[in-house]
Amino acid sequence: MKLELLSKEVIKPASPNHLQTLSLSLFDQFLPSTYVSAIFFYDDHSNQEDIQRLKSSLSQTLSLFYPLAGQIKDGVTVHCNDEGALFTEARAEIFLSDFLRNPSDADLIQKFIVSPDHADPETWPLLHVKVIFFKDKGFAVAVSVSHKICDAASLSTFVCSWTKASKGYADTVDPEFVGADFYPPADISIEFPPLLVHETKSKTKRFVFGSLMIEKLKNRASSGKRVPQATRIESITALLLRCMTKAGHSKSGKVKEFAITQTMDLRPRVSSSLLPHKAIGNFFFLPLLKESSESKMEIEETVSKLQKTKQELNELIRNDSEDAKSSVEAKERIASAMLSSLCEISPEMETYAVSSWCRMSFYEANFGWGKPVWVAPDSVDKTQVVLMDSKDSEGVEAWVTLPETDMAKFEHDSELLVYAILI
């Protein structure tokens, strides 16, 4: 598919900020230099007035999210110099209606997301917006933020604030960039193992779990004494991990150790005295479970282990007195546990990771012309699974990235296809 670049512009904050620098947190420093992206598709007609409104409201929003208009220097500091965000417009030689009939082509979605050659999420721009116009007047808004300063929840918060500005409403809660306060920076000479780096060519596929199949899967995961009640995310995660590890280890008779992890957003789990709920940054926890290739990865057993990691996190964040000393101790416990998990991952160890973007209100992104007809995450080479709500909020879309040889087996797994449809 041909994508024609129409224009490129730098959008600066409407009002200057007064903070000169912002330190990256301990875990910001080791995260891969990628963008966290989401693409919002709209079937309404767009015009130049709409695009101008997007630009002016983006400028207003950058006054609140001012580090996104800055530059990263030396890998440890954001210079909040109002350099601006990149805003590009492009035209796709395809009808949106045709694209939406088969929207799971990850390579095509990557074309919608991809930034100009000079763009670098480790330096500038830290925010890139691309508007794509389709032949039938439908259009898409692709929003990409540097993973060095934002996670998926931060991206959702930013888009929510931007849509309010686009409709003429002021956001009543200012975002707080407190990553370095929660996870204090470390000596940059510390080396972490590379996370989620694909050495071989990978493939991304989308699998859709309908509400009825999710209930059946939850019942299967909750069928024994170990798991009284499994959530939909736990159940889907356990099934995907079981099928992914089957595909990955069937090619070798050797016993191998591998790791599985599920990202946990800390914001809804900790009190506001520890972490503001509007905190912008990378505020997640990565519990690590080590398994052997001899493990059958039974669904109920995996769910039980995932639930145990949540209980352990609850113990770590316990902050009974909520005084300053207790808050500091709780943060130190969480950071120490994260470091311990990361240090257990060796470069040669396979790691299967699942990140849930569910309940993040991406489908509420209404800039003034209605809600999106579809939202897609950019999951290629970032994490091995991204879970996303379907538009009706009842189903779940799983974007799975695996080495091509593993995907060839995974996408035909009969156990997986009982519950999910490959789109």
Q: Got the DSSP string for 213-274?
A: HHHHHHHHHTSSSS-S---HHHHHHHHHHHHHHHHHHTT--S--EEEEEE-EESTTTS-TTT
Provide the residue type at 174 as one letter.
D
The pLDDT assigned to 70 comes to 95
- Read off the pLDDT of residues 294-322 as tens digits, 9 standing for 90 and up: 899 999 999 999 999 999 999 998 876 66
224-229 long-range CB contacts below 8 Å, 24 or more apart? 224/300, 226/300, 226/301, 226/304, 227/300, 227/303, 227/304, 227/307
The pLDDT assigned to 253 comes to 61
Q: What is the DSSP letter of 279?
A: B
The pLDDT assigned to 29 comes to 86
Q: Residue 348: pLDDT band by 50, 70, 90 thresholds?
A: confident
- Read off the pLDDT of residues 170-212 as tens digits, 9 standing for 90 and up: 877 789 999 999 998 876 555 655 555 556 788 999 999 999 9
Give yes or no for residue 242 having a pLDDT over 90.
yes
**CA distance linking residue 387 with residue 355, whole number of Å:** 6
Give yes or no for residue 250 having a pLDDT over 70.
no
The pLDDT assigned to 188 comes to 56
Q: Residue 45: pLDDT band by 50, 70, 90 thresholds?
A: confident
Task: Identify whether the C-beta of residue 370 lies closer than 8 Å to the C-beta of residue 378.
Answer: no
Q: Residue 293: pLDDT band by 50, 70, 90 thresholds?
A: confident
Task: Identify whether the C-beta of residue 237 lies closer than 8 Å to the C-beta of residue 420.
Answer: no
CA atoms within 13 A on the CB side of 418: 11
- What b-and-e string marks burial along 47-67, b requiring 16 or more CB atoms within 10 Å of the CB? eeebbebbeebbbbbbbbbbb
Rounded to 5 degrees, φ, ψ at 338 are -65, -45
**CA distance linking residue 76 with residue 298, whole number of Å:** 42
The pLDDT assigned to 324 comes to 75
367 compared with 227, residue with greater pLDDT: 367
What is the residue-averaged pLDDT of the chain?
A: 89
SS3 80: coil
How many C-beta atoms lie closer than 10 Å to residue 108's C-beta?
Answer: 15
**CA distance linking residue 80 with residue 148, whole number of Å:** 14
Give yes or no for residue 381 having a pLDDT over 60.
no
**CA distance linking residue 235 with residue 86, whole number of Å:** 39
pLDDT (mean) for 14-41: 89
Give the total residue count for the chain: 423
Tell me the two tokens of residue 126: 């830290």
Q: Got the DSSP string for 87-121?
A: EEEEEESS-HHHHHHSTT-HHHHHHHHPPPTT-BT
Task: Identify whether the C-beta of residue 410 lies closer than 8 Å to the C-beta of residue 247.
Answer: yes
The pLDDT assigned to 47 comes to 83
Alpha helices in 167-201 (DSSP H): 179-182
Picking from 24-28, 203-207, 375-379, which range would have the lowest pLDDT averaged per residue? 375-379
Cα radius of gyration (the chain): 21
Task: Show the beta-strand stretches assigned E in 1-98.
Answer: 3-11, 21-23, 35-42, 71-73, 77-79, 85-92
pTM recorded for the entire structure: 0.94
Picking from 105-109, 241-245, 358-362, which range would have the lowest pLDDT averaged per residue? 105-109
Percent of the chain at pLDDT above 70?
A: 93
Q: Residue 272: pLDDT band by 50, 70, 90 thresholds?
A: confident
- Enumerate residues 6+ apart whose C-beta is below 8 A from 165: 57, 58, 60, 61, 171
**CA distance linking residue 102 with residue 374, whole number of Å:** 12
- Read off the pLDDT of residues 78-128 as tens digits, 9 standing for 90 and up: 999 999 999 999 999 999 999 988 777 777 788 888 766 678 888 999 999
| Cis peptide preceding 103, ω within 30 of 0 | no
- Enumerate residues 6+ apart whose C-beta is below 8 A from 226: 300, 301, 304
